[in-house]
Amino acid sequence: MERATQLVGESPAFLDVMELASRAASLNRPVLVIGERGTGKELVAERLHRLSNRWAAPLVTMNCAALPETLIEAELFGHEAGAFTGAGRARAGRFEEADGGTLFLDELATLSAPAQDRLLRAIEYGEVTRVGANKVLTVDVRIVAATNENLPGLVERGRFRADLLDRLSFEVVTLPPLRARAGDVPLLADFFGRRMAAELGWSRWPGFAEEASAAMAAHGWPGNVRELRNAVERSVYRWDDPERPVARVEVDPFASPWAPGAAAAAEPAREAAPEAATTASEPAADLRGAVAAYERGLLEAALAKHRFNQRRAAAALGLSYDQLRHAMRRHKLAGVEAA
């Protein structure tokens, strides 16, 4: 399992978790990795494997949410030919493939009750039976499982086996969200930016301009490191001047005044700006001037309605924060420094 992304960080929250994972890696015990989407659960699973005495054996990954419930058991434990419709030949399961190594079960909470039952037996006794077979196979597999769900809460609601949770939770590594990793955003942004610049063939990495760094610091990053990586790589590849620091951060790739629903989102601003409509309807020297006057009126009305909170005004107009700032700069509105 080779990853293009690496575990990068220097915040105390991040370093504490990495130390815990490193200590747990050397033990032949199950580990649960808990965290929000985009926090790097697969990378931690790989770290647990690479630092263990199983590093030379296979690291096998299975996304439990990617398969229909009827096929999960066959994927985990294998099947014999003719065991079900479409099973034309026998196939080893993930437990057999990971024999001697590590099996990483992602999205663990999506496992069905029957699959949980059989998983518990496989972990407890090291025995698996292919679907449609009677022969019991012995395997030596270490389990690392990941989820973004509250497993104790699922146990209380009867959606997850308590004994399976007890068996898997020898150690629980809970990853902090990016918003809790003070100082790691600029470090990660620089890492991803340098990598993207090298991929694009830039002769050097110019870094980020102050306004771009401020925009990244202000964003909440609900998608965590994955969202930051995508935003940084997108911003670098869209930047046209490799000699100048990247000044725009493209957080939302869907942001556009022409996106479906954008016109409806901008409607409240238009209703609150009769002056803007009047200005746009007055004769202008040319079409370009009329469009510019109308756009400026919409911007001024939206900013005034939202008390010059630029992020709220941008949302009302169906624009990203960076698009609003660019438009304000173009119309020389107060609140944006000169380019």
> DSSP readout, 126-145?
SEEE-BT---EEE---EEEE
Extract the tokens encoding 195. 């990598």
Beta strands in 158-291 (DSSP E): 171-174
Tell me the percentage of the chain whose pLDDT exceeds 70: 90
pLDDT of residue 277: 46
Coil, helix or strand at residue 91: strand
Is pLDDT of 114 > 60?
yes
pLDDT at 1 over 50: no
Whole-number Å distance between alpha carbons of 243 and 203 = 9
| pLDDT tens string 31-45 | 999 999 999 999 999
Q: What domains can be seen in the chain, in order of their start residue?
A: 12-176 (3.40.50.300), 182-238 (1.10.8.60), 262-330 (no CATH)
Question: What's the pLDDT band for 263 if we cut at 50, 70, 90?
Answer: low
Q: Nearest to residue 231, comparing CAs of 213, 245, 244, 243?
A: 213
% of the chain beyond a pLDDT of 90 = 57
CB contact at 8 A, 249 and 322: yes
Residues 6+ apart with CB under 8 A from 311: 321
The closest alpha carbon to 25, from 187, 121, 142, belongs to: 142
Pair 64, 106: CB distance under 8 Å: yes
Question: In one letter, which amino acid is 228?
Answer: L
How sure is the predictor about 270, in pLDDT bands with cuts at 50, 70 and 90?
low
Laid out side by side, the sheet with 142-147 consists of: 59-63, 102-106, 142-147, 31-34, 171-174
Instruction: Specify the higher pLDDT residue, 194 or 134.
Output: 194
How much is the mean pLDDT over the chain? 87
User: How does pLDDT run across 146-183, given as a tens digit for each residue?
Assistant: 999 999 999 999 999 999 999 999 999 999 999 999 99
- Which amino acid, one-letter code, is at 214? A
DSSP state of 180: G
Judged by phi (left if over 0) then psi (alpha if -120 to 50, else beta), residue 82 lies in: left
Token pair for residue 199? 């991929």
Q: How confident is the model at residue 279 (pLDDT cuts 50, 70, 90)?
A: very low
What pLDDT, on a 0 to 100 scale, did the predictor assign at position 202? 96
User: Is the Cβ–Cβ distance between 266 and 230 less than 8 Å?
Assistant: no
Residue at 275: amino acid letter: E
What torsion, rounded to 10 degrees, do the Cα atoms 113, 115, 116, 118 define? Answer: 130
Q: Are strands 127-129 and 171-174 parallel, antiparallel or unpaired?
A: unpaired
In DSSP notation, 36-76 reads: -TTS-HHHHHHHHHHTSTTTTS-EEEEETTSS-HHHHHHHH
